[in-house]
Amino acid sequence: MSEVGANTKPLALICGVSGQDGAYLARRLLDRGYRVVGTSRDAQAGSFGNLTRIGVRDQVELASMASNDFRSVVQILARYEPQEVYHLGGQSSVGLSFEQPVETFESISLSTLNLLEAIRSLGCKTRFCSAGSSECFGDNGGMPADESTPFRPHSPYAVAKAAAFWQVASYREAYGLYACSGILFNHESPLRPERFVTQKIVKAACRIAAGSNERLRLGNLDIHRDWGWAPEYVDAMARMLGQDEPRDMVIATGETHALEDFVAEAFDAVDLDWHDHVTSDPALMRPKDVRISRANPALAADKLGWRASMRMPGVVRAMVAAEQALRVKAPAP
């Protein structure tokens, strides 16, 4: 008998619960009456700071699972028999993927394959959603990408995400699994770690506004991205698993802005002119990057009734406000 037992709550398993999306998804599902189990390679040693920060750490059950180990995945799925599985884990930095291509591919693609094969082999009546990425589209001439747009991945991260996407599609078509991918465009929140350029910008702007003499060094300011609000994007993924039939969907705002605009918004939020504090450093540019990323999220609006309500300016200002609030709460040195 599984650990679900007589518990009548639907059970969702979140792989990658310690990350930005995993934490927000856990809160979203808990608010709707789910029992939520989150996995980590070593659940006993993890701090799960994001879950603590948004106030759900004590409500999420934690289990140790190595997603690149098939036996470990099978054990956890057999133990909990979840109705829904969300795969949000894996190495999530495009830039770092150039330095760690093997680890990136294994943590994204192999883990996806293990989850799908475990669901198939156990005969689980499980609905599966994988977090895909807009990076899979690469450069497509600046045209808005939708579900029919070909993939042209430019980074090891994008290659791994593309492989995971096709694994999901293959298991859906070959074995009849309820499996789908949310092709997520950039989405941010205060839970982003500083290795992401968006949080790097926000934190630097707040430090400089507080009196730091530093100068923010960034790579290419002319890249264009579609930036949304992470809590809204996990809501879209949860809605995807509530449909009668599984479908891959682009999740985005439909608005694209230059990184320079993001920088300007962050510094304007703290009453500074970004030109006085930011330098573009060629040494920080990636070996290969997508210059313009645009999205057409019409299918999500049509099938899910989902539309992003927060656009880039609102996202930036929410991140700045959260960072400033943290600085106020921080103890004096």
Q: What 8-state DSSP symbol labels residue 264?
A: H
Token readout for 259 is 């990184």
Answer for the pair 300, 249: CB distance below 8 angstroms, yes or no: yes
- In the annotation, is 80 catalytic? no
- In the annotation, is 133 catalytic? yes
Tell me which of 67, 133, 181, 293 is the catalytic residue: 133
Tell me which of 84, 135, 188, 265 is the catalytic residue: 135
Going 71 to 248 to 174 to 125, the CA torsion angle's sign is: positive
Q: Across the strands, what pairs with 257?
A: 225
- In the annotation, is 280 catalytic? no
> Which residue, chain included where needed, has tokens 């702007």?
205
Of the candidates 133, 105, 119, the one whose C-alpha atom is nearest the C-alpha of residue 172 is: 119
DSSP per-residue codes, 236-256 = HHHHHTTSSS---EEE--S--
Q: How far apart are CA 293 and CA 289, in angstroms?
A: 10
DSSP per-residue codes, 102-132 = HHHHIIIIIHHHHHHHHHHHHT---EEEEEE
Return contacts of 144-151, CB within 8 angstroms, 24+ apart: 144/254, 144/294, 144/295, 144/296, 145/183, 145/250, 145/293, 145/294, 145/295, 145/296, 146/250, 146/295, 146/296, 146/297, 146/298, 146/299, 147/183, 147/247, 147/248, 147/249, 147/250, 147/299
Q: How far apart are CA 247 and CA 143, in angstroms?
A: 22
Q: How far is CA 253 from the centre of its chain?
A: 15
Angle between helices 70-80 and 111-122 (to 10 degrees): 50
Rg (CA), the chain: 20
Tell me which of 80, 86, 157, 178 is the catalytic residue: 157
Phi-psi region of 12 (alpha: psi -120 to 50; beta: other; left: phi over 0): beta
Catalytic site positions: 133, 135, 157
